[in-house]
Structure 1
Amino acid sequence: MRHILLSLCLMLTAAFSHAEAEQVNPQVILQTSQGTIELELFPEQAPETVANFLTYVDDGFYNNTIFHRVIRGFMIQGGGFTADLDRKVTRAPVRNESNNGLANLQGTIAMARTSNPDSATAQFFINAADNPMLNLRPGRMGYTVFGRVVNGMDVVIKINNLPTMMKGSHRDVPEQDVTIEKAFRKNAQ
């Protein structure tokens, strides 16, 4: 009987370990000209946003785009412009999922949008500080958080501290281009 219970416990442990391995959140690597940033995405909390972001990653859309807006102590924004500040053509916007319980805390990644809550396409930002004013509030949709930095927060801070300038009609553009050389799913290079 004891041998049967031990075998059963081992089988259950193996089954739970296998189930946990299947529940790993997707991870994305951003290789930038300033270093590597590794992201963990949260598809359970923001399914449409994560699917949208991963489609852009898988299509190579983010390769050779820049972080075009950097505000010290606030965030770094990228994913929509070439080094010449030409806006890339995107797919249709996704529904705002800021009511998912996630907050714009330091190190989280969220979707950039216009004043229309459902206007997010490809541009994203990484919070360089806690930014509660970007969260969902009564009567106002927030900015959808859909992941977090798991490695490379030092790179985010380094980018966030770069000097910026006005370039054409764009404010807060890093004086030195910060390029996303390549974006890809971890373990899928």
Structure 2
Amino acid sequence: MIKDDAYAVSKKFDLPGHAVLNTSKGYIIVELFKDGSPETVDKFIDLCQKGYFKGMSFHHVIKNYVIQAGHSKDLAAADEWTSRGKIRSQLRTSPKHEAFMIGTVKSKDSKGFELYITTAPIPDLNDKLIVFGRVVKGEDVVQEIEEVDTDEHYQPKSDVGIINVTLKHAI
């Protein structure tokens, strides 16, 4: 039993602690919360190693809220997020609800992986996302993506996306 515990601890330290998102606007460096969201970080790392995010577009850009990449084209979700965001200023925030947090939707659907980067504090974040990291460098790149022109459904009018993701143990 002790041997298994030691293996689990050593495995956790072997996991990369950072991801470098090479986007069409520049680099975003993310610190992964290996302790806080280990299952989600494991899934994210696995998908990165398989090239899942390579060439993926940011398909929803909601100014002062979030940028979203993934394979979902669910417009209703973006509309709901925006309408809920209008009441966010009335709620208390915690450090986990800061801008530049990275997360994915709370869902039992294992077919896809939606990637969200917050661009403002979101008090109801725990209701929607599993936060598994934060941007530690490249906030200006996130803001540049946030400023792209979008249509009425928050979809960018010009293509902006992730070229590839590189995993790093340290930055």
Cα displacement (A) at 1:25: 6.1
TM-superposition CA deviations, 1:20-75 (whole Å, max 9, x none): xx589610011011111010101111010000111110100100010000000000
The SS at the match of 2:59 is strand
The residue aligned with 1:151 is 137
TM-superposition CA deviations, 1:96-129 (whole Å, max 9, x none): xxxxx9723101101035xxx4346411100000
- Counterparts of 2:47 and 2:168, CA distance in 1: 15
Query: What is the aligned counterpart of 2:44 among 32, 53, 64?
Result: 53
Cα displacement (A) at 1:79: 2.8
Query: What is the aligned counterpart of 1:78 among 69, 73, 77?
Result: 69
State how many pairs are aligned.
138
The SS at the match of 2:143 is helix
- Counterparts of 1:174 and 1:134, CA distance in 2: 23
The residue aligned with 1:44 is 35
- Counterparts of 1:119 and 1:34, CA distance in 2: 30
TM-score (norm 2): 0.72
Question: Which one has the largest radius of gyration?
Answer: 1
Give ranges in structure 2 of 5+ residues lacking alignment.
Answer: 1-12, 74-93
User: Letter of the aligned partner of 1:47 in structure 2?
Assistant: P
Give ranges in structure 1 of 5+ residues lacking alignment.
Answer: 1-21, 86-100, 136-140
- Counterparts of 1:106 and 1:125, CA distance in 2: 11
- Counterparts of 2:97 and 2:133, CA distance in 1: 10
- Counterparts of 1:46 and 1:187, CA distance in 2: 17
User: Letter of the aligned partner of 2:104 in structure 1?
Assistant: M
Instruction: Specify whether residues 118 and 24 from structure 1 end up closer, same or farther in structure 2 by C-alpha distance, changes over 3 A only.
Output: closer
Cα displacement (A) at 1:157: 0.7
- Counterparts of 1:37 and 1:159, CA distance in 2: 11
Alignment pair present for 1:161 and 2:147: yes
Percent identity, aligned pairs only? 33
Alignment pair present for 1:176 and 2:162: no
Alignment pair present for 1:106 and 2:99: yes
**In angstroms, what is the RMSD of aligned CA positions?**
2.6
- Larger % of helix: which? 2
Cα displacement (A) at 1:180: 0.5
Decide whether the 8 Å contact of 1:33 with 1:180 is kept in 2.
yes
The residue aligned with 1:67 is 58
Decide whether the 8 Å contact of 1:28 with 1:38 is kept in 2.
yes
The SS at the match of 1:129 is coil
